[in-house]
Structure 1
Amino acid sequence: MLNVVITQSNYIPWKGYFDAIAIADYFVIFDEMQYTRRDWRNRNKIKTAQGLQWLTVPVEVKGKFFQKISDTCIAEKDWAEKHFRSIQHAYAKSPCFQEMKPMVHEWYNEAAKKTTITEVNMVFLKGIAHWLALPTVFLQSKDFDLMEDKTERLVHICKELKATDYYTGGAAKAYMNEEAFADENISVHYFDYSGYPEYPQLHGAFEHGVTILDMLFNLGSNVGEYMKFKLEK
């Protein structure tokens, strides 16, 4: 078996995204797609004493209606410093903050040097995946010859990688042409993001849909015990 996941990059995404990385032998970042505003590409949520707060990476969008995600540039130089301050304020009292702080700060220092949102996202995706000890290989869609048809693009990438299984989100059922994959002997699977256990979390009622940093600061090395790639082994 050889599992492939193909999706857009997100900014320090939630735990479900990293479970998708965990199941993949090859995780292909498909950022040769049109950038969409108010999406997960450049923002995510943290929990604070005042409620959920968005951390948004400022990007250049004015007059660039059809730019690709991979071409979307960072608009301000001090965004990383601001985000890290917000994170410190929100999580300073969490059980594992002091343990995780140096590593997260290092990621932010590295991300601050990048010029596009894809590059920023890759810093955190690779950094967190490495910390979780995931052996997944990251690739980018720009490394492949891309077809015009959306499904053909996905099938072509899977064929190039000699995939036996393709994993995607449940929303893809509405448009997925499974026959195109079956013709190449590739099985299609849909992620089930239900059933995650709750973990000790600061600031009121439990929230699943926040950045995985919330787990890192509250659980430290025990993060895996609350994720499906460990729970379902």
Structure 2
Amino acid sequence: MNNGNCHEVLLPTAYLPSVGYFRLMAHYPAAAVELLETYPKQTLRNRASILTANGILRLSVPVVRPYGNHTLTQDIGISYSEPWNIRHWRAITSAYNASPFFLYYRDELEDVLRRRHERLVDLNGALTRLFVKWLKIECTVRHTDRFTPPEGDLCDFRFQDPPDRPDAPPYYQVFNTKFAFQRNLSIIDLLFNLGPESTEYLNGQ
């Protein structure tokens, strides 16, 4: 349950997080990213969605669970047996090369994605810090130091992909002549299409 009077929002770690994820960060003064949960498979922790010429594409980071089903999120490794990061970058480039602000953000994002991060939380943390900087979000982000069970008085979004506001207006997307507006994609969709105006969009202005 989520209490709108909270000072801090609880979030999962996320790969190329969604617009809704950062809208929460923009509206809370502090965020705690959960690392001490038992890692749940097939979630936003290692998955993201972008819009391509063929529709929505799901990008997935291959992970290594050193302790099997009992592995904590903070211990999840990344597999480089296949060049997934190169493939992700090619897919992102193909999807957004024609967007208004791709060139503005490209180099820093490519640098983070091409690094060989050992743990998933290291990759996700580097990406989140980059996006917080670009979006000028004044939210203090920390990692949890213990696992807190879900309680009624928490602003807790750890077990869902934070939805975007249903009344948030559509913004320009590269393939808007082929597809209806696609809501709550990875934040890179918003940044590449709106650029610095993304901050105002998240603030609901």
Q: 2:133 matched to 1:130?
A: yes
Hey, what does 2:166 align to over in structure 1?
194
Moved over 6 A (4+): none
**Is this contact kept in 2: 1:26–1:138, CA < 8 A?**
yes
Q: 2:195 matched to 1:220?
A: yes
For the residues of structure 2 that align with 1:169 and 1:151, how far apart are their CA atoms? 10
For the residues of structure 2 that align with 1:42 and 1:11, how far apart are their CA atoms? 5
Task: Sort the Cα spacing of 1:192 and 1:54 in 2 relative to 1 into closer, same or farther, 3 A.
Answer: closer
Flag the structure with larger Rg: 1
User: Could you tell which deviates more after superposition, 38-47 or 75-84?
Assistant: 75-84
Amino acid at match of 1:207: Q
TM value normalised by structure 1: 0.75
Task: Sort the Cα spacing of 1:65 and 1:170 in 2 relative to 1 into closer, same or farther, 3 A.
Answer: closer
Q: 2:84 matched to 1:79?
A: yes
* Shift, 1:80, TM fit: 2.2
Q: Percent identity?
A: 25
Q: What whole-Å deviation, never above 9, does each CA across 1:115-162 have from its counterpart, x for those lacking one?
A: 1111111111111011111121111113xxx36x6147x97xxxxxxx
Cα RMSD for the two superposed structures: 2.7
Hey, what does 1:69 align to over in structure 2?
73
TM value normalised by structure 2: 0.84
Hey, what does 1:91 align to over in structure 2?
96
Q: 1:121 aligns with which of 120, 124, 146?
A: 124
**Secondary structure at 1:101's aligned position in 2?**
helix
Amino acid at match of 2:36: E
**Secondary structure at 1:196's aligned position in 2?**
coil
For the residues of structure 2 that align with 1:171 and 1:118, how far apart are their CA atoms? 16
**Is this contact kept in 2: 1:170–1:192, CA < 8 A?**
no
For the residues of structure 1 that align with 2:143 and 2:67, how far apart are their CA atoms? 26
Hey, what does 1:104 align to over in structure 2?
109
Task: Sort the Cα spacing of 1:30 and 1:50 in 2 relative to 1 into closer, same or farther, 3 A.
Answer: same
Structure 2: segments with no counterpart, 5+ residues? none
Report how many residues are paired.
Answer: 196
